Homo-oligomer: A and B are copies of this chain.
Amino acid sequence: MELLDALQWRYASKKMNGQAVPEEKVERILEAIRLAPSSMGLQPYTVLVIKDAELKKQILPVANNQQQVVDASHLLVFAAWDNITPEHVADYISLMAETRNIPVESLDQFKAALLRIAGRSAEENFQWTARQSYIAFATAIAAAAEEHVDATPMEGFNSAALDELLGLKEKGLRSITLLPLGYRDEENDWLAKSPKVRREKDKLFVIS
């Protein structure tokens, strides 16, 4: 399994060297995100891919000055839908009918189930879309590792300020996580040579 070697290889790089990730590698990482599973298949998120140096510089203070934000060539922002709307549901049903070449009406029952979910409170829906975005996020981390591209998963940033800066609220989105893509600066990254810390199997799993 290529994934196991990749997960052994990866870590959350604390210092990147500024080298750009080739576009074909980024494309494969984005394709993995696109193929990632989500509940009901709804993909209730948007992923921003920020290459613009000026914009990354503006994000830096909002992200506790974590330098990987600017030393990465591509900064991914995982932004979850702040609610699930009837329009979201309708768009998804259309896409499904088109992809599977079936009449929209054949999906009425599935559509009703989605609308029941959408009928929960905005906050409940958001907590759910946020969790879905973690699946896409984790898939991106795995994909980057298989490409031997360093990726530093980040939750430590001011989400409200980033939403403001990127105009996400107007788009019905809320930022959840960041993932800078770049290359480790092996010499100057204090974490680069530290052994990975993980609980042993008998502590993490309960087998019955």
Interface contact B28-A147, CB-CB below 8 Å: no
Interface residues of A in 1-55 (CB under 8 A from B): 1-4, 7-8, 10, 12, 28, 30-37, 39, 41, 43, 46-52, 55
Complex CA gap A138/B177 in Å reads 15
Q: Which residues of B contact A192 (CB under 8 A)?
A: none
- Copies of this protein in the assembly total 2
Interface contact B205-A46, CB-CB below 8 Å: yes
Stretch among A62-70, A95-103, A180-188 lining the B interface: A95-103
Q: Which residues of B contact A146 (CB under 8 A)?
A: 1-3
Complex CA gap A48/B207 in Å reads 6
Complex CA gap A142/B153 in Å reads 18
Interface contact A4-B35, CB-CB below 8 Å: yes
Complex CA gap A7/B34 in Å reads 10
Complex CA gap A130/B135 in Å reads 12
Q: Which residues of B contact A99 (CB under 8 A)?
A: 195-197
Interface string of A113-150 (1 = CB under 8 A from B): 00000000000000100110011111101110011000
Complex CA gap A136/B135 in Å reads 9
Complex CA gap A199/B136 in Å reads 13
- Closest Cβ of chain B: how far from A64's Cβ, in Å? 12
Known contacts A1-B147, A43-B199, A142-B139; is-contact A204 B7 (Cβ 8 Å): no
Does residue A189 face the partner (Cβ distance < 8 Å to B)? no
Interface contact A208-B134, CB-CB below 8 Å: no
Interface residues of A in 137-172 (CB under 8 A from B): 137-139, 141-143, 146-147, 153, 155
Does residue A109 face the partner (Cβ distance < 8 Å to B)? no
